[in-house]
Amino acid sequence: MSGAELARALEMLPGTYRQIESGRRRLKFELASQIAIILDCTVDELITGEISTERVPLAPALTSLNVDLPVFGSFDLSGEMVLVDSGNKIARHPIVADVKSAYAMHIANNDAGPRFEIGDTIIVDPTKPVSNQWAVVGISRDDKVIAQIHKVEAIDAERSLLRLTDGNTISLENVVSVDLIVDVQLV
């Protein structure tokens, strides 16, 4: 597949793809994931150039992915991220193929660093149990649901607290939902 064909499959300008290929523009993980799916390889194989002989295909062909995963944008409101339905949809990764309540979230500020950077899109699976995982925590404040990304240690129902790995806690009285971030990025 030529660079122009790959750029077309990625719905980007050939010049933008050439900048990424030449190293003048940073290759983000979500774009590397898309390229790997199109080229039927792993991201590791794409980056290192070493092809595994015992690899099982990780994802179906790009044409068979459903583009129905809703993307929530976020904007800063007094230092907090608020989820807003962007109206956009992205390809549903096979890891959440059967999870109808899954969604994607676009990172718009530095609150999720260093794990996620501005511009990243993450996939959220609200059906996974939360324990020592990155999670989107929906918190009710002033009749608004504010989403924050935290590394969650455990839910302490006895003391009505959500314990975070940094030692902080959040009162469950204000928590609307705790949804697991799936460690897959795909836009």
- DSSP string across 108-162: -SGGGTTTS-TT-EEEEETTSPPSSEEEEEEEEETTEEEEEEEEEEEEETTTTEE
| 137 and 156 part of one domain | yes
Domain with 125, as residue range(s), is: 65-182
Integer Cα distance of 138 and 149 in angstroms: 9
Q: Is residue 49 part of a domain?
A: yes
pLDDT tens-digit profile of 12-50? Answer: 888 888 888 888 888 887 788 778 777 777 777 777 777
Q: What is the pTM of this model?
A: 0.57
Last residue of a domain, one of 30, 46, 62: 62
| 96 and 147 part of one domain | yes
CA distances from 117 to 87, 147, 150 (A): 22, 16, 14
If residue 33 lies in a helix (H) or strand (E), which one and from where to where?
A: helix 29-39
Integer Cα distance of 162 and 43 in angstroms: 34
| 82 and 50 part of one domain | no
Integer Cα distance of 139 and 114 in angstroms: 21
Say how many domains are in the chain. Answer: 2
| 47 and 73 part of one domain | no
| 81 and 170 part of one domain | yes
pLDDT tens-digit profile of 55-101? Answer: 544 444 444 567 788 888 766 666 566 677 777 888 888 888 888 88
| 162 and 71 part of one domain | yes
